[in-house]
Amino acid sequence: MNGKLLGAMLIVLACGGFGFSLAAAHRREESALAQLIRGLDFMACELQYRLTPLPELCRQTSEELTGPVGQVFAALAERLQSQSQPEAGKCMAEALAAQPELPNQAKRIMGELGQTLGRFDLPGQLQGLDGARQSCRACLEALSRNREGRLRSYQTLGLCAGAALAILFL
Amino acid sequence: MRCAWQAYLNLLPPRLRQKVDNLGREELQELRLRLGRPPELILRRDSRFLSETVQQEDLRYVVNAASRFSPWSSASAAQGYLTAPGGHRVGLCGEMTVQADGSVTGVREVSSLCLRVARDFPGIAQGAGTSGSVLILGKPGSGKTTLLRDLIRQRSQQGDSVAVVDQRGELFPRADGTDCFPPGPRTDVFTGCGKAHGLEMAIRTMGPSCVALDEITEEGDCQALLRAGWCGVDLLATAHAKSREDLLRRTVYRPLVESRIFEKVLILQPDKSWRMERMER
């Protein structure tokens, strides 16, 4: 009897944990997108007023940010400095591949941003940054729609699914 | 002889570096990369082709390395060149981006590159005098910038406060925050700004006894030099001309010749030596 109870508790905990992890991933995605917007704002200001070269710009941006987004910019700065690839887009792809913790939407937007880096004059580059910023905002807006309800659902559904499974097995 | 050779090698695609290093460390003057053709090394006495074929990716690598992936900080691309770390000049050729008003704003697709090695030869201006305004004449690639650099350094060492307007960053380049070629103890360098504007700033802010600029090409440069000369400072400058007679024939330089603002001309010879002449009307 004790074994069955223990098993049921484990099932509820596992399913509940899955629900909570979905909610945490949602929060991580939001946080990464917010960080990315901050980084893009910083880059646009630096470019507009100081025309900072790209490797230096990415290094400075990485110092302004925390978490995986900052780490991607740091890795990108290193790759640009050592010219590991002929183009900035390929350097960005390498930097993204080396940072598996970065949430998917932020990764996609940074990949697209990489395709615009170092290819255009100042107005073109600022436009590229602005495009990435708009994508971030759109994603953030979609994530924040019914945010509280959705997060609660992930957690509750996880726990309920666990409880249902446990009852079935008992 | 000084040269930021590693900075030069860093401009090149990795597959070419070893060969260029072996063949050109001491002798290389220019490396020419032409799309679909083998790289050509112009050495001091002859030229050689490598066995590789230049790909579009190689050209992109060099342009990105020279501009540090930053077309926005390389306004000179619209004039067909980039100054790379170490002062090496990368000449650009290909399909240009032209605006509706006819102005060139950059290069859309590069098809050829000319990578000129910047070298410094301390002491080559020995004997050029310690005072007065000096104009250096020579053909492209004859060593005008190298001679001017040493002349500036000598004036600076002899006690003159020299303000240099180094628009292209080739006279006293920096790499990794340090000077590639020593500018002298009393030299102040303005980099990046236009010559006329830079000269005005230099005189107004640094109080020099001597100002220097590389390659007078436009009437505006001549007018700025005249204004500087009338302020009582010595002038050191270079111009494209193979002789004094050639200089006199070119209308753009006429105001400088007629004003007799330069007292001496140093004329570069094909063997990179120079001879001094007095400037006369």
Please report the DSSP string for A71-92 in residue order.
HHHHHHHHHHHHT-SSSHHHHH
Q: Do B70 and A51 touch (CB under 8 A)?
A: yes
Q: What are phi and psi of B23, to 5 degrees?
A: -90, -30
- Is the distance from CB of A64 to CB of A35 less than 8 angstroms? no
Q: What ipTM, to 2 d.p.?
A: 0.73
What does the pLDDT profile of chain B (281 residues) look like in tens digits?
888 899 999 999 999 999 999 998 889 999 999 999 999 999 988 999 999 999 999 999 999 999 889 887 776 777 888 989 888 999 999 988 788 888 777 778 899 999 999 999 999 998 887 788 999 999 888 889 999 999 999 999 999 999 999 988 889 988 777 888 999 999 999 988 888 899 999 999 999 999 999 888 888 888 988 988 888 899 999 999 888 888 888 888 888 888 888 989 999 988 888 999 887 65
| Count of the separate structural domains present in chain A | 1
- B65 contacts in A (CB within 8 Å)? 83
Q: What's the CATH number of domain B121-278, 2.30.40.10, 3.20.20.220, 3.40.50.300, 3.40.605.10? A: 3.40.50.300
Q: Do B69 and A52 touch (CB under 8 A)?
A: no
- Which of A121, A127, A129 is best to mutate for the B interface (most B CBs within 10 A)? A121
- B108 contacts in A (CB within 8 Å)? none
Alpha carbons B144 and B62: distance in angstroms, whole number: 25
- Look up residue A169 and give its two tokens: 């097995």
Alpha carbons B175 and B94: distance in angstroms, whole number: 28
- B58 contacts in A (CB within 8 Å)? 86
So where are chain B's domains? 2-116, 121-278
Residue by residue, DSSP assigns B138-178 as: E-TTSSHHHHHHHHHHHHHHTT--EEEEETTS-SS-EETTE
Q: Do B68 and A53 touch (CB under 8 A)?
A: yes
- Look up residue A9 and give its two tokens: 């508790």
**Range of A156's domain?**
2-169
| Chain A residues touching chain B at CB-CB below 8 Å | 47, 51-57, 80, 83, 86-88, 117-122, 125
Strands B234-240 and B210-216 come out as: parallel
Question: With b meaning 16 or more CB within 10 Å and e meaning fewer, what string describes B40-76?
Answer: bbbeeeeeeebeeebeeebbbbbbbbbbbbbbbbbeb
Residue the block writes with tokens 């290069």: B107
- Is the distance from CB of B25 to CB of B41 less than 8 angstroms? no
- A133 Cβ contact partners less than 8 Å away, ≥ 6 residues apart: A37, A40, A41, A44
Q: What is the CATH number of domain B2-116?
A: 3.30.450
A166: enclosing H helix or E strand? helix A147-169
- B106 Cβ contact partners less than 8 Å away, ≥ 6 residues apart: A121, B71, B77, B78, B96, B97
Number of A to B CB contacts under 8 A, please give it.
Answer: 49
